[in-house]
Amino acid sequence: MTAQWIDSWSPVEGRERAEKVYRDCFNAEPAGVGSAPGRANLIGEHTDYNDGLVFPFALLHRTFIALTAREDTIIRLVSAQEDAVWEVDLDEVAPGAHTGWGAYVAGVAWALREQGYAVRGFDAAVTSCVPYGAGLSSSAALEASAAVALDEVFGLGLAGTVDEPNDEGRKVLVQACIRAENEIAGANTGGMDQSASLRAQAGHLLLLDCQTQDVQQVPFALSDVGLALLIIDTRAPHQLVDGQYAQRRATCEAAAVALGVPSLRAIADAGRSADEIAAQLTAPGALPSDQNPEVAVRRVRHVLGDIERVRRVVTLLDEGRTEEVGPLLTEAHVSLRDDYEVSCPELDVAVDAANAAGALGGRMIGGGFGGSAIALVRLDEAQKVADAVAAAFADKGFTAPGFMVAEAGAPAF
Ligand code: ADP
Ligand code: MG
């Protein structure tokens, strides 16, 4: 079974594609083109909304948006990946009022205006090679591309230039994108994706502290040490996702209250023993009656474990012990599968088949219940491992997966 590879577009190709979509729809040339990457996360999953640590990087796969400002407040949007033109008056954008993909873009304009920036209406055309709903954050790529394009055409001065990105300004754009997704698109997000898309740097992992929003750029050049990171898009249909994500967040929040801390991050930093935490969570009346204490103990164990694993991976990379990252990925997968219970058969088969074929380790990434997995492999074995995963999917009768060899790409610009 031969693996199918998901190609990325060059920046020039993506720009030209977006300009063409714009021209075909609006019969004019766009004033500017913005683009932003999807992301993968090496380690630290479901830790962002617990004020924890995450360790993502930007993909080469990007979303492109061609955009022209209007004098009025009308927003007209078209996407090569969607059928209908999406139209709204910016003055009428409000939480809970919208459905559909355009809400991600209109929401960014709304959030920037809420923050006091002079944004009006605009016409925009979108196209992307980031796969949808694959856990690679096409939604954040869409928001971030809109954010930098709006920054450019309305002269907000927040993004900086390609060579000299303005990280403080980008933090403002990140917040606008998060508000767009949470409040206008109505999708839950913890904030990792938007930071990765706007604040990552080419050739680097982004160590993001979700408590302070502080970042550290960590060099990520696997091919220099004969390794590669394989991304496996399982193409599994997302099921049950919305309710499950909200439940996990609610359990973490209830556990933090029971433990007397603002977020689970504080417990991770306090270095308390697992037994002590379990005893406190399972004490009568510690948790609200809709939370199962035994389940909460496992959920907390995952979050604390993954924050610790991020720290261990940072140390391993720093010491040049890159191969040893592999087993930590698999450890994280087991934790997500058994303690956090957000995996699914396709993700488990992807990780197990990759490891059986010689990967150094692997795990599901993103929210779970579908989406993508990563596997750390020897560079010259990437094809072999991908073929083995494709064969395992065929054996199980699953939809054929898609593959990428990850490279840490540039942020939104
Ligand atoms: P993920 O972020 O993992 O890809 P999400 O469900 O969070 O999955 O976001 C996918 C949604 O984002 C799509 O259903 C669509 O509404 C919107 N979206 C992403 N990319 C595009 C695009 N190129 N054109 C139009 N809508 C897009
Ligand atoms: Mg998303």
Residue 411 falls inside a structural domain: no
Residue with tokens 């196209």: 127
Q: Look at ligand 1, atom 15, and give the residue with the nearest C-alpha.
A: 101
* Listed residues 198, 218, 238: the one ending a domain: 218
Residue 119 falls inside a structural domain: yes
CB of 405 within 6 A of ligand 1: the answer is no
Q: Is 193 a catalytic residue?
A: yes
* Listed residues 218, 237, 259: the one ending a domain: 218
Contacting residues for 230 by C-beta, under 8 A, at least 6 apart = 354, 359, 362, 374, 375, 376, 377, 382, 385, 386, 403, 404, 405, 406
CATH code of the domain in which 148 resides: 3.30.230.10
- The answer to whether residues 210 and 231 belong to one domain is no
Residue 226 falls inside a structural domain: yes
Q: In the numeric block, which tokens belong to residue 201?
A: 């740097």
Residue 140 falls inside a structural domain: yes
- The answer to whether residues 242 and 125 belong to one domain is no
- The answer to whether residues 230 and 376 belong to one domain is yes
- The answer to whether residues 141 and 280 belong to one domain is no
- The answer to whether residues 254 and 198 belong to one domain is no
Contacting residues for 199 by C-beta, under 8 A, at least 6 apart = 165, 167, 170, 171, 174, 206, 208, 215, 411
Q: Which of 51, 123, 151, 193 is catalytic?
A: 193
- The answer to whether residues 355 and 261 belong to one domain is yes
Q: Which ligand 1 atom sits closest to the C-alpha of 138?
A: 4
Burial degree of 285 (CB within 10 A; 0-12, 13-18, 19+): exposed
Q: How far is the CA of 411 from the centre of ligand 1 (A)?
A: 18
Counting other chains too, the contacts that 210-218 makes at CB distance below 8 Å and 24 or more residues apart are 210/47, 210/48, 210/49, 210/50, 210/51, 210/52, 210/53, 210/54, 210/265, 211/51, 211/52, 211/263, 211/265, 213/171, 213/174, 215/167, 218/55, 218/314, 218/317, 218/318
Pocket probe for ligand 1: among 35, 85, 101, the residue whose CB has the most ligand atoms within 8 Å is: 101
Q: Are strands 227-233 and 204-209 parallel, antiparallel or unpaired?
A: unpaired
- The answer to whether residues 146 and 14 belong to one domain is yes
CB of 81 within 6 A of ligand 1: the answer is yes
Distance CA 30, CA 386 (A): 40
CATH code of the domain in which 229 resides: 3.30.70.890
Does the predicted model carry a pTM greater than 0.95?
A: yes
Q: In the numeric block, which tokens belong to residue 250?
A: 């609610």
- The answer to whether residues 98 and 194 belong to one domain is yes
- The answer to whether residues 119 and 231 belong to one domain is no
Angle formed by the axes of helices 293-318 and 325-334, nearest 10° = 170
Q: Look at ligand 1, atom 6, and give the residue with the nearest C-alpha.
A: 133
Contacting residues for 170 by C-beta, under 8 A, at least 6 apart = 158, 159, 160, 198, 199, 411
Q: How many domains does the chain have?
A: 2
Domain of 174?
Answer: 6-218
| Residues facing residue 9 across a β-bridge | none
- The answer to whether residues 31 and 84 belong to one domain is yes
Structure letter (DSSP) for residue 238: P
pLDDT for position 369: 93
pLDDT for position 1: 77
Pocket probe for ligand 1: among 78, 142, 365, the residue whose CB has the most ligand atoms within 8 Å is: 142
Residue ranges of the chain with per-residue pLDDT less than 50: none
* Listed residues 196, 218, 240: the one ending a domain: 218
